[in-house]
């Protein structure tokens, strides 16, 4: 019966990862990625690895989206500046 929970969390990870691939805009992808981090954390907890889940939560819920959004903003700003320069 414990396999049910494992199966559910595996399906959640698969569904979220597929959604992250299908969403094409990087800023929107960051949102789906943070949900993927949550699903992975649940999977690690179900597999009795709470330490891995802890680091996954710390990195996935705030740090990865922050890095992605900051990079997207920087790239966009540079593109705008180059357009203005020409």
Partner 1 sequence: MNAWLVCASLLLVAGLLPVVWGTARGPLGHRVVAQNCGTSVVCLVMLLLAQGYERPAYTDLALVLAVLGPVGTLVFARLLSGELDEEPRWGRAVTALTVAATAPVVIASCAATGPGRAAVKVVFIGVLLAAGNVIASRTLSGAHRNPTETRYD
Residues that bind partner 1 (CB under 8 A): 1-2, 4-5, 8-9, 12, 15-16, 19, 22-23, 27-28, 30-32, 34-35, 38-39, 41-42, 45-46, 48, 50, 53-54, 57-58, 61-62, 65-66, 69-70, 73, 77
Closest listed residue to residue 39, CA positions, set 20, 25, 66 = 20
Least distance CB 82 / partner 1 (angstroms): 15
The 8-class DSSP code of residue 68 comes to: H
The answer for residues whose C-beta is within 8 angstroms of residue 39's C-beta and 6 or more apart is 9, 12, 13, 16
Using only the alpha carbons of the chain, give its radius of gyration.
Answer: 17
Least distance CB 15 / partner 1 (angstroms): 6
Residue among 67 and 86 whose Cβ is closer to partner 1 = 67
The 8-class DSSP code of residue 23 comes to: -
Q: Which two tokens stand for residue 3?
A: 């396999």
Least distance CB 58 / partner 1 (angstroms): 7
Residue among 27 and 86 whose Cβ is closer to partner 1 = 27
């Amino acid at each position: 019966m414990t396999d049910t929970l494992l199966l559910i969390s595996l399906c959640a990870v698969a569904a979220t990862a597929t959604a992250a691939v299908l969403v094409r805009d990087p800023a929107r992808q960051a949102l789906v990625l943070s949900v993927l981090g949550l699903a992975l954390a649940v999977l690690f907890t179900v597999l009795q690895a709470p330490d891995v889940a802890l680091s996954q939560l710390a990195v996935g819920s705030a740090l990865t989206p922050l890095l992605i959004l900051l990079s997207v903003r920087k790239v966009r700003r540079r593109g705008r500046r180059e357009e203005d320069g020409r």
